[in-house]
Amino acid sequence: MLLLAAAFLVAFVLLLYMVSPLISPKPLALPGAHVVVTGGSSGIGKCIAIECYKQGAFITLVARNEDKLLQAKKEIEKHSINDKQVVLCISVDVSQDYSQVENVIKQAQEKLGPVDMLVNCAGMSLAGKFEDLEVSTFERLMSVNYLGSVYPSRAVITTMKERRVGRIVFVSSQAGQLGLFGFTAYSSSKFAIRGLAEALQMEVKPYNVYVTVAYPPDTDTPGFAEENKTKCSSPLDININTETVSHPELNAGSALCSDEPALTRGRHSLSKQSGGERNQSELIPLNLPLETRLISETTSVCKPEQVAKQIVKDAIEIWGQLEREASGGWALAWKERPCRCMFRLNRAEYRKHRRLLKYLQTWGELCPDCVQRHRKRAPADWADFVFPAYLKSKQTHSMFLMIRSSSSYFGRTRLI
Amino acid sequence: MLLLAAAFLVAFVLLLYMVSPLISPKPLALPGAHVVVTGGSSGIGKCIAIECYKQGAFITLVARNEDKLLQAKKEIEKHSINDKQVVLCISVDVSQDYSQVENVIKQAQEKLGPVDMLVNCAGMSLAGKFEDLEVSTFERLMSVNYLGSVYPSRAVITTMKERRVGRIVFVSSQAGQLGLFGFTAYSSSKFAIRGLAEALQMEVKPYNVYVTVAYPPDTDTPGFAEENKTKCSSPLDININTETVSHPELNAGSALCSDEPALTRGRHSLSKQSGGERNQSELIPLNLPLETRLISETTSVCKPEQVAKQIVKDAIQGNFNSSIGSDGYMLSSLTCGMAPVTSITEGLQQVS
């Protein structure tokens, strides 16, 4: 009996696997595509641009500093694969004024055509205790990280919806998945990006526009170095016993990331500070709150190239997957289902499963056909089109809830 | 062998349950406590203030409109349980300027003593498609909902950490647990509150200060009515077949919430619009994007008193997640992420 149930379950899962390629989003073709990268002059943004360029895309870099933009352009152009590719650089502050950002996007579209993929990589980070952070920090971080992602997205979204193709990538952070000591301002802005992305995806999915949110861990970039220089209070007020601080196994992390034990580096820098000299080339911050420093030391610092590779892969690949972090922290993952407009329930079935349907309905999983059909019919019938067949039986109702609840985020069960 | 493992597991769980009262936060004693409620002049904030007042707390209401504050004060004072209780009203815009908010908190502390519990209930909501929302909406919502929670919290946190006691309550929303169509700006601000709360809880827990985030569903308040008046595009472009729209059982929802079927109300208002007349007293919005309206109609609208009761109960206990009703609880479990867990039951359910 149990074996029979297990066999059914396995067969069902296999069936889903086989059916899924038929209903998944078509991958975005990068050769010839126009990719706009904000914050593309350094760090993860630059590596994403390089990654896309290597696959034949036309790049527009958007950042504030013109010198850094030109340097980045030279670096990116080394990776060209044909003569037609272009790297365009436009200097603007994406968080200041929406009309400026809109103009920049218009300019880019006049030169390189409509935007196929937008990567919102402009951001900054500051850490410190809640009561020690300047009040302006909260405003500034939210402005750069959140509004600096809203404005470009808003500028491209109408064209993407008209053309029925597009990818929007938001770069959040692992601090956008859980709140960390010392990152009250930063975590809030990264959580906000996530909320924006979830709501936006629900709006644009019927138009074949897919949203990707990346959750990179600490990545070895100039931005990270800036974060580490954050001037904060809370001087070291404890005696560091350097012999007891070595936990190399804490740095198991992922194979993708640095092998050098971060905690040993930390110990090295801590002992240096107690010696009075501060070495700013150390990756681990010395003047952050101790707790934040210790948390940073438990994870390894990643290379931006690996982060970028993963982000680009997830943005274009067939599932339109909605998460990734290069360190492989799958437990924090958040994945999006493919379209579920597979089957249709009649009204009686709809009434039977209304409670569960209530939740599913909020996903707004509408494929383009459903959009057409629902526009022609009354609102009540709209619900008939969007629910998969396995809701038809009450037995699977509770099983479905169990499976769903085991995914770490609402509404995002993965078929593969 | 399997039975032995199962028995061990059960014994372990029982042991945890027995030990938990020893390791859970000590509930905050409300009688005589000083509770500050921002956005306390109406809606959920006012009901929270009433709830705390009924249990003997001293209230400070913080809001912008002085008339509404005085009205709310009168209403709250009807529920006093002894002669010493005081309701203090201070008018300020909590999202404008940090120094003003700091002054307000100082004034309140001079009159009623140090703040024991802060409830950040000041907020607003606007809905619309991403490309139709004004750009200033994003800034405004983030300013009111997020910065309007940051400033008061920052003003009270130092004293709470020194005294080693305190509760900070943030009122997020179910839209702060998942993104909903039409709520790009609103969801982002409510997610931001959640991020703030999680990071803050990690910082203040050693000081016996607990952070609670409430995720109320659609609640029948003046703020909700304002959200419904949101001027948006996407006029009704479909024929409404009113006979097929009756699904009273859709509103089973939670026993805590309204019995009146939301969808019937919706049908009522939809048929009125096709008649040409729009009745603004209807709770279901008429000029929101269709999809947002349909989503609203699937959940029942709650009463603010029940929401407030649940929030105060969770805040006193020090629970991080505060959800309303059984579907709220399910949603919280599904979207818990890495949020702190303050009860073993909650932890076990989230894991399973």
Mean of the pLDDT values across residues B112-122?
A: 94
* Contact in structure between B66 and B91 (CB atoms under 8 Å): yes
Cα separation values, A167 from A86, A285, A319, A370, B288, Å: 20, 35, 12, 21, 26
Fold held by B38-227+302-350: Rossmann fold (3.40.50)
Residues 6+ apart with CB under 8 A from A392: A345, A349
Place of tokens 């681990």: A284
> Do B135 and A332 make contact, defined as CB atoms within 8 angstroms?
no
Answer whether B296's CB lies under 8 Å from B224's CB: no
Q: Phi and psi at residue B243, in whole multiples of 5°?
A: -70, -30
Q: How many angstroms separate the CA atoms of B340 and B72, rounded?
A: 34
Residue in A153, A358, A408 closest to B299 by CB:
A358
One-letter amino acid of A281 = S
Average pLDDT for B41-55: 93
User: To the nearest 10°, the Cα dihedral for B150, B155, B158, B159?
Assistant: -130
In the prediction, which pLDDT does A58 show? 94
Tell me how far apart the alpha carbons of residues B298 and B287 are, in angstroms, rounded to a whole number.
Answer: 17
Contact between chains at A98 and B135 (C-beta distance less than 8 A)? yes
Q: What is the mean pLDDT of residues A77-92?
A: 90
Distances (CA, A) of A12 to A197, B142, B234: 31, 44, 40
ipTM of the complex: 0.80
Asked whether the beta carbons of residue A358 and residue B250 sit closer than 8 angstroms, the reply is yes
Identify whether A189 is a catalytic site residue. Answer: no
The angle that helices A184-204 and B184-204 make with each other, rounded to 10 degrees, is: 150
Q: How many CB pairs below 8 A link A and B?
A: 213
Residue range B74-112, pLDDT digits in tens:
999 998 888 888 999 999 999 999 999 999 999 999 999
At B173-210, the pLDDT tens digits run 998 998 888 899 999 999 999 999 999 999 998 999 99
Domain A27-232+307-320 listed as CATH 3.40.50.720? yes
Residue of B nearest to A292 (CA): B203
pLDDT digits (tens, 9 = 90+) for A188-223: 999 999 999 999 999 998 999 999 999 998 887 887
Residue A240 has pLDDT above 80, yes or no: no
Task: Tell me if A191 and B191 make a contact (CB, 8 A cut-off).
Answer: yes
At residue B336, the pLDDT reads: 78
- What is the torsion angle, in degrees rounded to the nearest 10, for the CA atoms of residue B252, residue B258, residue B264 and residue B270? -130
Q: Which residues of B are catalytic?
A: 172, 186, 190
Full DSSP string of A211-261: EEEE---SB-SHHHHHHHT---S----S---GGGG--GGGG---TTS--S-
Q: State the pLDDT at residue A358.
A: 53
Among A142, A184, A191, A144, CA closest to B176: A191
Coil/strand/helix, residue A17? helix
Interaxial angle between packed helices A43-54 and A66-77, expressed in degrees from 0 to 180 and rounded to the nearest 10:
30
Which residues of A fall within a CB distance of 8 Å from B139? 147
User: Which residues neighbour A395 within 8 Å (Cβ) at sequence distance 6 or greater?
Assistant: none
Query: Which chain B residue has the Cα nearest residue A133?
Result: B154
Domain positions in chain B are: 38-227+302-350
3-state class (DSSP) for residue A133: coil
Q: Is the pLDDT of residue B151 over 70?
A: yes
Per-residue buried b or exposed e for B271-291, using 16+ beta carbons within 10 Å of the residue's own CB: eebeeeeeeeebbbbbbbbbb
Nearest Cα residue in chain B from A382? B294
pLDDT at residue A162 above 60? Answer: yes
For an interface test with A, the pick among B98, B151, B190, B202 (most A C-beta atoms closer than 10 Å) comes out as B202
The position carrying tokens 């003569």 is: A83
Average pLDDT over residues A23-40: 87
The band of B21, judged by pLDDT with boundaries at 50, 70 and 90, is: low
Tell whether the model's pLDDT for residue A332 goes beyond 60: no
pTM for the predicted model, two decimal places: 0.73
Assess whether pLDDT exceeds 60 at residue B275.
Answer: no
